[in-house]
Amino acid sequence: MANLKSAKKAIRQSKRKALRNLKQKTEMRKLIKEVRNLADKGETEKAMKKYSEATKSIDKAAKSKFIHKNTADRYKSRLAIHINKTAKDKK
């Protein structure tokens, strides 16, 4: 256990940051899964609406440096490709 006041404060801060990061991570992954599931079911319009929410969440994660910008771009690109591919296959 930390003895110094500054060390105790650092522990409190790291706990808050860890909770915030976990919330952001689960939100982002949940939206990505929803988009993929909707696209797989063939509900392209709903998938595109969820895609805009997912990209917003991914961009927020990149802006707060939770994930790297290139990683965010890769996630968005792969989601768009998946939606387009499944929409094409269903036709």
Closest CA to 87 of 53, 55, 43: 43
Separation CA 12–CA 88 (nearest Å): 50
Residue 82 CB partners (closer than 8 Å, separation 6+): 35, 36, 39
pTM of the model: 0.83
Amino acid code (one letter) for 10: A
Per-residue confidence in pLDDT tens, the chain, 91 aa: 788 999 999 999 999 999 999 999 999 999 999 999 999 998 999 999 999 999 999 999 999 999 999 999 999 999 999 999 888 776 6
